C-alpha cells in the first residue's frame, strides 16, 4: 500500500512540476507573439476551409468566408463587390469543368493591426481539366477582418497566376 501511495505522490508531483514548467514557458513568450501564432493558425485554417469548399464546389461555404461588404478582384475579370456579387462570382467559377484536386498555401508575409490582417501568400496545386492533371501556382493578397471576437472573414481578395515552371 505504501508503494502505491509513493508512486501516486511522485506522479502528482511530476504533473505539478510539468504544469509549472509549462506556465513559465508560456509567461516567457510575449503576448503579441502568442497572438501572432494564434492568428497565423486561424488564417491557415481559413485557407484550408476555402480549399475544401472549392474542392466540393460548395458556394455557400465559400461565401461564408467573406464579409457582407467583401470585394473580390479576380485575375481576369472585373471587381466583384458585396456578398451577393461574390456569391454569383463563385457560383459561376465553381460551375467550370475544372476540378481542384489539391491546393496549398505558403505564407509570405502577414501584417496585423487590431482586427485587420493583410496576408500575402503563395499558392500551388493541381487541377483536373479535360481529363488531364495541370499544376498551377500563383500569389494572393487577402485582407481579413473580424468584428469584436467574431470569426475572421475575408474583406478583400485578389490573386494572380505565376508563370509555369
Q: What is the pLDDT of residues 23-32, one digit of tens each?
A: 545 567 666 5
User: What residues contact residue 90 under an 8 Å CB cut-off, 6+ apart?
Assistant: 59, 62, 63
State the chain's mean pLDDT as an integer: 81
Residue range 54-101, pLDDT digits in tens: 889 999 999 999 999 999 999 888 999 999 999 999 999 888 868 889
* Residues 63/80, Cβ–Cβ less than 8 Å: no
Give the mean model confidence (pLDDT) for residues 94-122: 87
Distance CA(151)–CA(131), nearest Å, equals: 38
Q: Cβ contacts of residue 146 below 8 Å, gap of 6+? A: 115, 152, 153
Average pLDDT over residues 2-9: 41
Residue 143: pLDDT over 50: yes
Measured between alpha carbons, how far is 126 from 72 in angstroms, rounded to an integer?
A: 22
What pLDDT does 114 receive?
85
pLDDT at residue number 21: 44
CA distance 13 to 37: 31
- pLDDT above 90: residue 9: no
Percent of the chain with pLDDT over 70: 77
Which has more confidence, 28 or 144? 144
Q: How far apart are CA 72 and CA 157, in angstroms?
A: 5
User: Can you give the pLDDT at residue 41?
Assistant: 84
Q: What is the CA radius of gyration of the chain?
A: 22
Q: Domains plus CATH for the chain?
A: 37-161 (3.10.450.50)
Tell me how many degrees the CA angle 40-75-135 measures, rounded to the nearest 5. Answer: 75
pLDDT at 44 over 70: yes
Question: Pick the residue with more confidence: 112 or 25?
Answer: 112
For residue 124, the model assigns a pLDDT of 92
Amino acid at each position: 500500500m505504501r508503494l502505491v501511495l509513493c508512486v501516486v505522490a511522485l506522479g502528482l508531483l511530476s504533473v505539478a512540476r510539468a504544469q509549472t514548467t509549462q506556465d513559465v514557458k508560456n509567461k516567457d513568450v510575449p503576448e503579441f507573439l502568442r497572438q501572432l501564432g494564434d492568428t497565423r493558425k486561424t488564417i491557415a485554417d481559413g485557407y484550408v476551409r476555402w480549399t475544401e469548399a472549392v474542392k466540393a464546389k460548395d458556394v455557400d461555404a465559400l461565401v461564408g468566408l467573406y464579409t457582407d461588404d467583401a470585394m473580390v478582384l479576380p485575375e481576369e475579370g472585373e471587381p466583384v463587390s458585396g456578398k451577393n456579387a461574390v456569391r454569383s462570382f463563385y457560383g459561376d467559377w465553381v460551375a467550370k469543368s475544372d476540378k481542384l484536386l489539391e491546393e496549398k498555401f505558403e505564407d509570405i508575409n502577414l501584417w496585423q493591426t487590431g482586427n485587420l490582417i493583410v496576408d500575402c501568400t503563395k499558392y500551388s496545386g493541381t487541377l483536373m481539366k479535360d481529363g488531364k492533371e495541370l499544376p498551377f501556382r500563383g500569389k494572393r493578397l487577402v485582407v481579413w477582418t473580424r468584428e469584436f471576437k467574431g470569426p475572421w472573414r475575408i474583406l478583400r481578395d485578389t490573386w494572380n497566376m505565376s508563370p509555369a515552371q
